[in-house]
Structure 1
C-alpha cells in the first residue's frame, strides 16, 4: 500500500507568529494517497501534498515488474527522484511511461512549493503476457528503447488520460468502492494504455536525425507545443496561421515539422482529436448531440455527422445507443 511521506506535511503554528493566509492554506492541504482498482494486475494511485509527495512500497516477497504511467495532475516545476543518478524535471500536463521493478519509491518535489498531485497507474507485466512483448516491439520500432533501458519516456498527457483521471472519485477508493467500480476503473486504465500505444505513430519524439536536420530543436519544440494546443483545445477554430502565431514559428517549418513528428497533417490530426472527444461525450454523457457538435468545434451538424460516420462507421445516435447499451 502506498504511503505519502509526512516530511512534506505543512504545519502552521500560531503560538508565536500569526498564520498568514498562505500558511493557513498550506496547513489545510494534507499529504494523501487514494488507491483504486487493485484487480486484473492494475493499480491506480493518486498522490498529493503541498510542496511535494512521495510513494513508497515495501520490498515485495516476489519480484514485481510494472509498466507505469505517471501523470502530473497539479504542480509547478517538479523534480522527480526515482532512484536514478539524476532527477528529472516535470510539469503539469506531462506524463511518463516507465518500467519499474520491485521498488516504487518515487519522490516529487515542487521548487515553487506548489500543491502537487500525481497519478500513478501500474500494470503488472505478468498480466500483460504476450501483449507486453508486443509493446516492447512497437516501442523499439519507433526508436523508443525505454523499456529495455529502464529509462522513462516523457510525453504530453493525452485527452484520454486526462478524462479518466478527472472521473476518479475519492469515494470510490479501495476501502469503500464495490467490485463493479474497481473493474470499471481498471478497464478504463487499460483503455488509456491501449490508446497511448495506438498513438505512437503520432507522438513519437525521436525521428532519425537526418529527417529533422533541417529543423532546429527549438522549432520542433514549438511544433510539439502546437500539437498540445490542438489536443487540449480541439474546439477552437484553429488554423495553421493562428497556431504558428501562438507558438512563434512560420508555416513552412510548421507543416514540414508536423508531418515529420506526427506522421500526419495538421487538419487530419485536428479532425481526429475532435472525433475522439465527441465519441467520449456520446458514450459517457447524456448531452444533446447538437451541443456536442458545437462543443468539439463544428458549426454544421450534418457535416459533423458525415465525418463521424466516416471515422466510426455509425452516425452519432447509433454510436451512443450501441455504446451505452453495451455498458
Structure 2
C-alpha cells in the first residue's frame, strides 16, 4: 500500500490527478492534497508519503523549492514533477533533488499509470535493499547481549550510542527504523532465552510511533527495562515495579521524592518508568503522589489532636499555603472547612 501526496495550486489539476491515481489500480492507502508547496511541506513533515506529485509553479513555495526541501527531509520519497512544455527546462533543475519522473500537461491516464509503475518498481527495489547487513546486526545484538547479561550498564549505553549513530548516518525512513530495531529486539530476546536460565517476554511495542525519535526512545527504554528485569531476577526479587514504586511513595509522602529517585530505587530508566507508571495507574507520578498525600491529609484531619499546620508537613508540604490550596483543589474545601464538616472545631 502506498501513501501519495499531490501538490498543485490548480483545483482542476489536483482533482483530476487524484482521480487518475485512484483509477490506476495501484494499492493506495493514503492520498492527500495540498494547494501549494508550503501546505505540502507541512503535511509531509507530519506524515511522510512514499510518492509526491508536485506542480512546478505554485504560490508561497514553488515546486523546485519543495523538491529541495523534501530531498533534505527524506531522500527516499520518490518525486514526480508535473509541468507544462514551457516549464520543462525549469523543471529539469529538480534532477539534483531526486526527481524520478516528469508528467507533462495536459495529464493523461496513460502518463500517470506509467509514472506510478516506475515509482512502485523503484519503491520495491528500495525496500528490498538491505540497509543493515545481517553481520552488522548480529554484532550489535552480540554486544548488547553481553552487556545486559553481565549487567554492564556502561556497555549497554555505549552499544546504544554506537547503534544510534550508525543508523542516523544511513538516514533511514521511519518504517526502516521500525524494521531494524524490531529485528534487533527479537534477536536479542531469542539469544537471552537460548541461555535457558530465565524467561523473558519481549515488551517492545512500536505501534503508532510518529517519528524516528519516538521509535528510538521506546527501543532504548525497552532495553533499560530488560536490564532492570534481569537485575531483579538475579536478586531473586519478583516484585511488580509499579507496586514497589507505590510502596516507596507511600512511606515517603512527607518527603519531596522525585520520579528519578523512585525509578532509580527500583532499577528502571526514568523515562520508561514514567510511561509504565502512567499506563498502570492512569495517573502521572506527580498526580498519584498528590492524590495519596491528600488522602493521608484527610485521615489526619479526622484526628482532633493534629494541628492543620503540622498535617501539611506530615504530607510533604513545607509551605502551608501551598498545602491549603492543593487540598481545596482536590476536595473543594479548605482543610479547616473539611474538619468542621466532621464536627471538629
Using the size of structure 1 for normalisation, the TM-score is 0.32
More strand by share: 1
Q: TM-score, normalised by structure 2?
A: 0.30
**Is the helix fraction higher in 1 or 2?**
2
